[in-house]
Structures are given as C-alpha cells and as structure tokens.
Amino acid sequence: MIKDSPDYSASKSEKQTANHPCPIFTIRPGINSETLLVHAYETLASANVMATELSSILTGPTCNLVLGIQQMIVLAQLSVGEVLDQLNPQQ
C-alpha cells in the first residue's frame, strides 16, 4: 500500500507573492541604500572567508567547485564595493 505524502507546502494564506516577502526575514523600511550595501559587502566578505576555508580542506573537483563559488562571491563583492565607492567617493 502506498501512502500519500503529507503536504508541507504553505496554505494559500501563507503563500507569499513577489510584492509581499516572507515576514520572517525582512528589512526595516527606511534603511538607506548605503547601509544595505555595507551589510551586503560584509556578508560577501564572510562568505568569501568560509569558501576559502572550505576549499583548503577539499581536493579535486569538489575543491574546484568551491573555488568557482568563491570567485563569484569575490566578483559580487567587488561590484558592491565599487557602488559604495561611487556613493561615497571621498574615502
């Protein structure tokens, strides 16, 4: 006998649309763009460190995969850093 799998999907009232993000993780309205970019930059820097550490204990194709992910993180971090520099050029 095959049992039906339980439906763990959200009910209609719990499903979120693109205009109404999940309220578990939200950004307080009114936060300025520079603050958001600084936090994004710091998050990317942390992800870079984690990927670097992980790649140092892996070998072969798995290590190469993590290094590829690290490269994408660094490119995103450079992009965010450039936008920050354009917003605040005196530093």
**Domain boundaries in the chain?**
33-87
pLDDT-derived band at 23 (thresholds 50, 70, 90) equals confident
Return the higher-pLDDT residue of 43 and 88: 43
What pLDDT does 42 receive? 97
What is the pTM for the complete model shown? 0.69
What pLDDT does 90 receive? 72
Nearest-10 crossing angle of helices 33-57, 60-87:
160
- Dihedral angle of Cα 77, 67, 53, 46, to the nearest 10 degrees: 20
Q: What is the mean pLDDT of the chain?
A: 85
